[in-house]
Structure 1
Amino acid sequence: RSDVFVATKVSGDVENVRGSVERSLKLLRTDHVDLVQIHGNSYTENQANEILAPGGILEQLESLKTEGLTRHVGFTSEDNNAAVFRFITSGRFDVMQISYNLLHQHPAEWTRPFGSLFEARDAGVGTVTMRTLTSGIFQKWVSTVRPDDEYDYTSSLLQFVLSNPLVNVALVGMRTVAEVEQNVKTANDLSGRVDHEELHRKYPES
């Protein structure tokens, strides 16, 4: 069990938080998970208030953490809005899972610098990226504008995210053994890394 990091999610229903985690533990045949995340898309101010309020979802997760049913608590978000920054600066979350990739770089604006990935680093919050390979959008665009382009951009897209020192974990959906092997090979290929700060420099130094 110690060789595997197990993460799960709970919905925004306060009443079902404990039951959801306990069902997951039963199905996974384990006495604890390593991370439980609040599953979210784009949080409104009211939703953030409810999550952070006494008796809210976060307090429920903190109780589960105290009991040893989970080692860490986190949240997921497709957005990079004010609610995300409230969660980060609350000091109560261990991990943030955020949408970040070549097409969606708002969490890490290197030219400013600004973004939730910078804030998470400064707050000591672990970072996980979702949509790492753009959910196929980049590939669809390439096939539309360059239908004869047969290059597999998967490794390049993964290398872009892995190159960001603000990213701790890059999630990638995999359905076959071949995909797993290729992604492991890419992750181990440090020659494919780029310097994000240099990459985003607008003008060359004279």
Structure 2
Amino acid sequence: MKYNQLGKSDIKISEVSFGCMSLGEDHEANAKLLHTAFDNGINYFDTADLYQKGENELTLGKAFKAIRDKVVIATKVGNQWRSDGSGWNWNPSKSYILQAVEESLKRLQTDYIDLYQLHGGTLDDPIEETIEAFEQLKHQGKIRQYGISSIRPNVIREYVKRSNIVSNMMQYSLLDRRPEETSLDLLQENNISVLTRGSYTQGLLVNKPPKQYLTFSEDEVRKAAEAVQSVAGTSRTTAEVAVRYVLHHRAVTSSVLGIRTSEQLQDAIQVANAKPLSEDEIDALRRAVRPIVYEQHR
């Protein structure tokens, strides 16, 4: 397993990491899966207070309480559940962040969070106030570092200019190359780590039947999957190729893979141990899929 530095921090995280969102309700089964991941070199585990109304944080906290100092735990804040449970509202205010972190710490059974991330963001947010909240928590030792989770170029630019974020989580895959336009280079130039989600593109690049995706037709998605299969050949899996495409960009520190089953975990471990793609292979994949750009939030 390769480990990369998280931005300008002293935290090192595994190149392939564990997205906890899809974990089930069985804490014992979850703990077994999470510990198997850790035993195989995965040390970064990503959750959010939004997932399962906090139960996702709770299951992660239970699993790693005994080895807390050996794992890197990341969670997110900004989506506030309504009191009637009917949904959530966006709330990036300082007061809410300072309140929400206490609940996350309690559920995670820890006195600090390694990476605390804003779970979204818009230009209408009180950005300075949001940054103040994260800086205060860092000063208090309740979080080690902070970042954002955003695909919006205009929001990313503001946090790059105005804050000390060490990371940005964003959707990025062969079928969603929008970050390649400006965001990846900007983040790399400022030594801010990119954490990716969606490397498999809902499974369309790996094992799911083709369908329309973003601005791509079903036929274009099929051709992209065929290109991945062609590069994989008989010596690699399509999962390896899909994730290794993402990890090829120097801005990307870790690919966060959603894991719910032992089979998915074994795929992730295999991906982590796979060799990088060659430049010729990267070029072949890029030729097979037309680049797209963000239409909004530019």
Give the TM-score taking structure 2 as reference length: 0.56
Letter in 2 for 1:46: D
CA–CA distance in structure 2, aligned partners of residues 98 and 161 of structure 1: 11
Residue pair 1:89, 1:123 contacting (<8 A) in 2 also: no
Find the aligned partners of 1:75 and 1:196 in 2 and give their Cα distance.
Answer: 33
- State, as a whole percentage, how many aligned pairs show the same letter: 27
**Equivalences for residues 36-185 of structure 1 within 5 A:** 36-40=116-120, 43-47=121-125, 50-51=126-127, 53=128, 56-79=129-152, 81-109=153-181, 115-138=182-205, 139-141=208-210, 153-185=238-270
SS of residue matched to 1:96: strand
Which of 97, 106, 110 is the matching residue for 1:17?
Answer: 97
Partner in structure 2 of residue 199 of structure 1? 283
Cα contact 1:117–1:127 (8 A) shared by 2: yes
RMSD over aligned Cα, in angstroms? 2.7
SS in 2 for 1:158: helix
Distance in 2 (CA, whole Å) between partners of 1:130 and 1:179 is 15
Q: Provide the secondary structure at the position in 1 that maps to 2:245.
A: helix
Which structure would you say has the larger RCO, counting Cα contacts within 8 Å and 6 or more residues apart?
A: 2
CA shift at 1:46, angstroms?
Answer: 2.2
Per the TM alignment, residue 196 of structure 1 is displaced from its structure 2 partner at its CA by: 8.2
Over 3 Å counting, the alpha-carbon distance change for 1:44 and 1:91 in structure 2 is: closer
**Partner letter of residue 101 of structure 1?**
S
1:198, distance to aligned residue in structure 2 (A) = 6.3
CA 142–83 in structure 1, closer or farther in 2 if over 3 Å, else same: closer
Deviation at 1:163, TM superposition (A): 2.1
Confirm or deny: 8 A CA contact 2:148 2:165 kept in the other structure: yes
The alpha-carbon deviation at position 39 of structure 1 amounts to 0.6
- Check 1:198–1:189 CA distance in 2 against 1; reply closer, same or farther (3 A cut): closer
- Aligned equivalents of 2:280, 2:172: Cα separation in 1: 14
Aligned-partner Cα distance in 1 for 2:280–2:196: 16
Structure-2 separation of matches of 1:5 and 1:133: 23
Give the letter for the 1:195 counterpart. E
Instruction: Kindly state the Cα deviation for residue 117 of structure 1 after the two structures are TM-superposed.
Output: 1.2
Cα deviation 1:57-114 (Å, max 9, x = unaligned): 11101100111111111111133x22211212324211111111111112124xxxxx
Residue 112 of structure 1 corresponds to none
Native 8 Å contact 1:100 1:131 kept in 2: yes
- Superposed CA deviations along residues 116-171 of structure 1, whole A, max 9, x for unmatched, are 1111111111211122211235444279656xx9x773332112112222200111
Separation in 2 of the partners of 1:130 and 1:36?
17
Task: Tell me the equivalent position of 2:29.
Answer: none
Partner of 1:32: 112
The residue that corresponds to 1:187 in the other structure is 272
Counterpart of 2:100, as a letter, is S
- Output the TM-score relative to the length of structure 1: 0.79
Superposed structure 1 runs of 4+ greater than 6 Å apart: none
Q: Is the 8 A contact 1:98 1:130 kept in 2?
A: yes
Retained in 2: the 8 A contact 1:102–1:160? yes
C-alpha contact 1:163 1:195 (8 A) present in aligned 2: no
Task: Return the offset for 1:187.
Answer: 1.5
Q: Distance in 2 between matches of 1:116 and 1:189?
A: 26
d(CA) in 1 for partners of 2:281 and 2:190?
Answer: 20
Comparing 19-28 with 89-98, which one deviates more in the overlay?
89-98
What CA distance in whole angstroms lies between the structure 2 residues aligned with 1:9 and 1:66?
18
Q: Is the 8 A contact 2:240 2:274 kept in 1?
A: no
Tell me by how many angstroms 1:178 deviates.
Answer: 1.9
CA distance in 1, matches of 2:119, 2:283: 32
CA distance in 2, matches of 1:90, 1:104: 27
- Tell me the CA shift for residue 3 of structure 1: 1.6
